[in-house]
Chain A
């Protein structure tokens, strides 16, 4: 194994993380509520460690980055980044125990938005802004960012992006990986900026607008208010965030195609987008109807139902209504949406619509084959045949995903807390990077009740989910640590 190269790339990731703390530092200078020193020290520590790791190993420029090493870099990179991202929480006194700070940091980077922080209004602005920044970085991916800034870091960069980007296969926008990463970040910045401006127009303060724009863009869900977006209680804010949560669940390649001249055809031609749109609209309508008895008018029901569905399916996790009090049919659709998630190549989590679509086609084929075994049947997406390898990988992925949710639920139950629904949905919401679950981790509660063991397991589950299982599973195989 090429240890020097791995250490070098990890160093670059940390250095970039340190740089990303600077805006939070500047904000803390403005608000002056006691976290300036904590952020300043965090920046120094993170950049110093990162620079040392980047500069000290003299690695051969021609060294060959193996696929296995790509996975290891991604998995270790995320764990390390989360650990260093917890430093500001510890130094500022937001948390006194590292397990809580680490949970909060992982939850930020994996864009889960599950919190163990018992939030109150006007808490230290710099640290809270850092928490939102972690969503923004984690959404598009830190290795994608690293490659956008340092495209010459290693050869075979596709290995790294492949391991970090969500979806069954990697689609490049332009031939160079570094260039692709730059384009993705430009689109990301543009959309974030649009939402920021829209929220300003709705009357939010620039600070609130930035925190919520970051949290939406990464499909994270940390708000700087204890009651989340419900704190604003404003129809325009709800509409803007509903629309943008949906938009950040769309494959970014489609925005690129939109911008280079295909316009809206880019979206409608894409089978995954059509399915995503169909699922979102039909679930919203169904939930709106189920909730009619619960709300006074159709439009009130539509407002809360659409916000909540958009929030869950894009795996953001913002809250304007306590869905655990909704009719049980609505709750069930919410759980389904937690499994499905959004499109590949977006900032969202979940199994991903494209995989669900392939699984549906695969099931249909299996049923038909039972009656007519000799018929050759090809699974098509966008009218193109899908490689059988990918089909079987997708099926295995779905099985592993569900198994992970079940095993995760069992492991946190070992702590002896809560009930089956709570622990199972806690596991699901963490693997899918949503945020809120049901029962004692419902939309108006948080994860503070879990102990060290529960928080550690849930932190791991979030990382498994964000990196789409394989990079994390590989860390637990013996062959990953072999030299050869």
Chain B
């Protein structure tokens, strides 16, 4: 597809990178010479210097033939304007990053009037993700499928876990009372493994399991990982993510302590969030943290603008005995290093945003085949979990899985049949309308027929 990305900042660059990996024709527009230089050197795209809200620049980028225009500049207004102009000039589909909470309130109106097909708020999406992690603190990350019926949860295997070192096919016989869940994927030494019967989990592996939340909770209780519900959280940094996150978790009965370095910002946050303890001070100051009761809180989330501060403070918090720490990190290259450090929950807003956008792109690409309901990029974008709805008339329908060929590196992880979860075995089959969740090391799958065939 022909895709124009306006603004190659963190989100724009990550997006352009993934889109070119999926063989799309990408044109990048940016105002900054250095950004253009970087993109044209390292990505297989055409770069155009200019303002994406300028019709002339958009025409030079071939907007009239573009399938998708994605506006991801720093400025909401520019993004909205760019989408409006692009749509008028003939772009089929527009996606805008809109982050200001003020605009969120009139979002539907704006979208309809401006011809924006999808508006994405990276901070809100990130806050949602964090709130789910706080609800299930044993997980490194959680992705939900089939309207929350199925979850895929990531955790790190430890030496004392009962499942370690036993081949998959012997798990049921050797470990009594182990709840039945699916081991969908394992990351070991930065490579992705789809486990088969002879595979055994080793300590240090990052394991993705899927099933319904009740079974998964039982599974973690069995491993002795299940912990108390989180009742108090410390947030470092008073940015937009902290704001959205507080709005989400305060009603859940979680007490929030928020650190902000800027006095005016702190005052404003206190006005907006009456039930939050806003502390005016440096959240990286260890004395201040201890003074405010760091070792008593259940979770610590660092969301400042500086990656290093976030990571170091999260490490410190975890040393001080906080059971759940979450750190924001925007630099992809650090991810591998962080795994070694033992920080499990590291989230990156641009990965969340770009995978949300990629899902729309993938769905547009394939409007005639099976429909993509959800798509998550896992393990730093090296693997994907995709939810499809099985369509009438597809060749795999009604045929037991053992009689079908499955693409190498892919696995049918869960089938949701009429609201019931099936962990599939060879004799199970897919029926029309079923939700099918695939995990795969092959990126860019856009149709269930690519995975299952006769």
Contact = CB atoms under 8 A, between A and B. Distances in A.
Interface of A: 67, 156-159, 170, 172, 174-179, 387
B311 to A, nearest CB: 24
Contacts of A159: 41
A157 B46 contact: no
A268 B46 CA distance: 24
A175 B33 contact: no
Contact of A158 (B26, B33, B44): B44
B27 interface: yes
B76 interface: no
Contacts of A67: 41
26 contacts: A67-B41, A156-B41, A156-B42, A156-B44, A157-B44, A158-B40, A158-B41, A158-B44, A159-B41, A170-B40, A172-B46, A174-B25, A174-B46, A175-B20, A175-B25, A175-B26, A175-B27, A175-B44, A175-B45, A175-B46, A176-B25, A176-B44, A177-B44, A178-B44, A179-B25, A387-B33
Nearest to A64: B42
Given A158-B41, A175-B44, A175-B46, 16 more contacts: A156-B42, A156-B44, A158-B44, A159-B41, A170-B40, A172-B46, A174-B46, A175-B20, A175-B25, A175-B26, A175-B27, A175-B45, A176-B20, A176-B25, A176-B44, A177-B44
A78 to B, nearest CB: 22
Contacts of B42: 156
B28 to A, nearest CB: 9
A328 B26 CA distance: 54
Most buried by B among A174, A176, A178: A176
Interface in B38-74: 40-42, 44-46
Nearest to A173: B46
Contacts of A176: 20, 25, 44
A291 B20 CA distance: 57
A387 B44 CA distance: 22
A67 B44 CA distance: 14
Contacts of B26: 175
Contacts of B25: 174-176, 179
Closest 8 CB pairs of A and B: A175-B25, A175-B46, A175-B45, A172-B46, A175-B26, A177-B44, A176-B44, A175-B27
A158 B26 CA distance: 14
A156 B27 CA distance: 16
A398 B20 CA distance: 36
B334 to A, nearest CB: 17
Contacts, number: 27
A21 B252 CA distance: 74
Nearest to A384: B49
A5 to B, nearest CB: 16
Q: From A157, A175, A179, name the one whose CB has the most chain B CB atoms within 10 angstroms.
A: A175
Nearest to A387: B33
A374 B33 CA distance: 24
Contacts of B20: 175-176
A156 to B, nearest CB: 6
Contacts of A177: 44
Contacts of B41: 67, 156, 158-159
Contacts of B44: 156-158, 175-178
Nearest to A172: B46
Contacts of B46: 172, 174-175
A401 to B, nearest CB: 25
Nearest to B27: A175
Nearest to A389: B33
A178 B44 CA distance: 9
Nearest to B21: A155
Nearest to B47: A172
B190 to A, nearest CB: 11
A158 B40 CA distance: 8
A179 B25 CA distance: 10
Contacts of B33: 387
A159 B40 CA distance: 9
A132 to B, nearest CB: 33
Interface string B13-35: 00000001000011100000100
B47 to A, nearest CB: 9
Nearest to B16: A175
A156 B42 CA distance: 5
Contacts of A158: 40-41, 44
A172 B44 CA distance: 10
A172 B25 CA distance: 12
A159 B33 CA distance: 18
A383 B292 CA distance: 62
A82 B80 CA distance: 55
B17 to A, nearest CB: 11
B379 to A, nearest CB: 14
A160 B33 CA distance: 21
B448 to A, nearest CB: 26
A172 B27 CA distance: 11
Contacts of A174: 25, 46
A313 B45 CA distance: 33
A4 B20 CA distance: 25
Contacts of B45: 175
Contacts of A170: 40
Nearest to B33: A387
Interface string B428-443: 0000000000000000
Contacts of A179: 25
Contacts of A172: 46
A174 B45 CA distance: 8
A333 B25 CA distance: 45
A55 to B, nearest CB: 22
B429 to A, nearest CB: 36
A179 B20 CA distance: 13
A67 B20 CA distance: 20
Nearest to B45: A175
Nearest to B42: A156
A460 B361 CA distance: 50
Nearest to A156: B42
Interface string B299-324: 00000000000000000000000000
Contacts of B40: 158, 170
A177 B46 CA distance: 9
Contacts of A175: 20, 25-27, 44-46
Nearest to B3: A175
A177 B20 CA distance: 11
B281 to A, nearest CB: 43
A177 B25 CA distance: 10
Nearest to B24: A175
A387 B49 CA distance: 11
Interface string B153-187: 00000000000000000000000000000000000
Contacts of A178: 44
Nearest to A174: B25
A160 to B, nearest CB: 12
B243 to A, nearest CB: 38
A73 to B, nearest CB: 16
